[in-house]
């Protein structure tokens, strides 16, 4: 990672934190407990991978900053809501997230349920309030379509359902890949595509290149997650390590082994770079993000 990339990343992360706060109702607005808990779930933590991807993809086409900010925040709200619901007792039953008590621990289960529901709605509010004098409404409608599909049963929720159904089963590599492409890949792709759509309508070749890049980083993200779950400690991760093995969940490490998983992540990093070739220098940040996703330690 270069110092310039590091500076860019910190700038986007700080800007996203600020945008996310601005796009949420105030904690003093009724119902205050729900709004406080939404802020607790969304603010003050996280690597902001999805906003980083949205901004990096926006840079491909010099997208308007106000529209990229909405794209980034909308995707991050969907991600944050999914974490709140996934952590609940009826799902993964996890007490720790980003080094803090999860929402149902810090508040209660009913509040956690509502926080997730309301954050999903808020993601669509954030897109819906984009200024259609800046972004053509037909393009905004395309952004809605991408986000809604990525969130639902053909995307993130569908992946989570497959994940639940596969506990204790022995999955093939292809089945594991399908599950992760839905569970995490769909939303990472949405971050990339929404960021790019903030800049211009995408032609078929551009969409195909972004899809190829998204597929590669989506899988790499999960492979590296599995490697870290098997090798890092809870304090570094900010969440309970070794949980997948304890829950008897299929992972890349359990199917392929540790070293082959690391090699796969590196292959996917190179695939991501190759997919970006048509965009030239404008894709610098997207290339660096692929490196970050594969080389991260937490």
Q: SS in 3 state form for the chain?
A: CCHHHHHHHHHHHHHHHHHHHHHCCCCCCCCHHHHHHHHHHHCCCCCCHHHHHHHHHHHHCCCCHHHHHHHHHHHHHHHHHHHHHHCCCCCCCCCEECCEECHHHHCCHHHHHHHHHHHHHHHHHHHHCCCCCCCCHHHHHHHHHHHHHHHCCCCHHHHHHHHHHCCCCCCCHHHHHHHHHHHHHHHHHHHHHHHHHCCCCCCHHHHHHHHHHHHHHHHHHHHHHHHHHHHCCHHHHCCCCCHHHHCCCCCHHHHHCHHHHHHHHHHHHHHHHHHCHHHHHHHHHHHHHHHHHHHCCC
If one asks whether residue 121 binds a second copy (CB under 8 A), the answer comes out as: yes
Beta partners for 96?
101
Nearer to a second copy, 148 or 230 (CB): 148
If one asks whether residue 113 binds a second copy (CB under 8 A), the answer comes out as: yes
Q: Residues binding a second copy: what is the number (CB under 8 A)?
A: 56
Q: What tokens appear for 113 in the block?
A: 């349920």
If one asks whether residue 25 binds a second copy (CB under 8 A), the answer comes out as: yes
If one asks whether residue 266 binds a second copy (CB under 8 A), the answer comes out as: no
If one asks whether residue 117 binds a second copy (CB under 8 A), the answer comes out as: yes
Least separation in angstroms between CB 260 and a second copy: 27
If one asks whether residue 96 binds a second copy (CB under 8 A), the answer comes out as: no
- Cα separation, 46 vs 235, in Å, equals 14
- Cα separation, 133 vs 131, in Å, equals 5
Nearer to a second copy, 91 or 255 (CB): 91
If one asks whether residue 246 binds a second copy (CB under 8 A), the answer comes out as: no
- For the window 156-175, what string marks contact with a second copy as x by the rule CB under 8 A? -xx-xxx-xx----------
Distances (CA, A) of 94 to 129, 159, 193, 224, 289: 34, 19, 31, 20, 28
Among 65, 90, 134, 274, binds a second copy (CB under 8 A): 90
Among 16, 122, 214, 222, binds a second copy (CB under 8 A): 122
If one asks whether residue 132 binds a second copy (CB under 8 A), the answer comes out as: yes
If one asks whether residue 26 binds a second copy (CB under 8 A), the answer comes out as: no
Least separation in angstroms between CB 228 and a second copy: 25
Segment contacting a second copy (CB under 8 A): 58-66, 87-95, 222-230, 280-288? Answer: 87-95
Segment contacting a second copy (CB under 8 A): 8-16, 32-40, 57-65, 95-103? Answer: 32-40
Least separation in angstroms between CB 31 and a second copy: 4
Among 101, 137, 260, 278, binds a second copy (CB under 8 A): 137
If one asks whether residue 151 binds a second copy (CB under 8 A), the answer comes out as: yes
Among 49, 80, 147, 209, binds a second copy (CB under 8 A): 147
User: Rule CB under 8 A: which residues touch a second copy?
Assistant: 25, 30-31, 33-35, 38, 81-82, 85, 88, 90-91, 108-114, 116-118, 120-122, 124-125, 127-130, 132, 136-138, 140-141, 144-145, 147-149, 151-155, 157-158, 160-162, 164-165, 178
């Amino acid at each position: 990672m270069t110092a310039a990339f590091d500076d860019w990343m910190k700038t986007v992360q700080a800007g996203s934190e600020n945008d996310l706060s601005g796009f949420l109702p105030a904690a003093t607005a009724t119902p205050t407990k729900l709004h406080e808990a939404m802020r607790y779930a969304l603010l003050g933590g996280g690597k902001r991978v999805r906003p980083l991807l949205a901004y990096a993809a926006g840079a491909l086409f010099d997208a308007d900053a106000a529209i990229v900010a909405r794209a980034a925040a909308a995707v991050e709200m969907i991600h944050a809501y999914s974490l709140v619901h996934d952590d609940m007792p009826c799902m993964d039953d996890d007490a720790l997230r980003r080094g803090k008590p999860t929402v149902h621990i810090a508040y209660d289960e009913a509040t956690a349920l509502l926080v997730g529901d309301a954050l999903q709605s808020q993601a669509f509010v954030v897109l819906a309030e984009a200024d259609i004098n800046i972004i053509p409404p037909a393009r905004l409608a395309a952004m809605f379509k991408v986000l809604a599909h990525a969130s639902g049963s053909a995307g993130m929720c569908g992946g989570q359902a497959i994940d639940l159904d596969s506990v204790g089963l022995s999955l093939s590599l292809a089945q594991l890949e399908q599950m992760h492409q839905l569970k995490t890949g769909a939303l990472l792709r949405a971050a990339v595509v929404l960021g790019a759509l903030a800049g211009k309508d995408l032609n078929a070749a551009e969409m195909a290149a972004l899809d190829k890049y998204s597929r590669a980083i989506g899988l790499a993200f999960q492979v590296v997650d599995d490697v870290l779950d098997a090798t890092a400690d809870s304090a570094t991760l900010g969440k309970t390590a070794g949980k997948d093995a304890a829950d008897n969940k299929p992972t890349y490490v359990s199917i392929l082994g540790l070293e082959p998983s690391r090699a796969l992540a590196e292959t996917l990093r190179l695939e991501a770079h190759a997919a970006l070739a048509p965009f030239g220098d404008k894709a610098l940040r997207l290339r660096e993000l692929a490196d970050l996703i594969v080389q991260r330690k937490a």
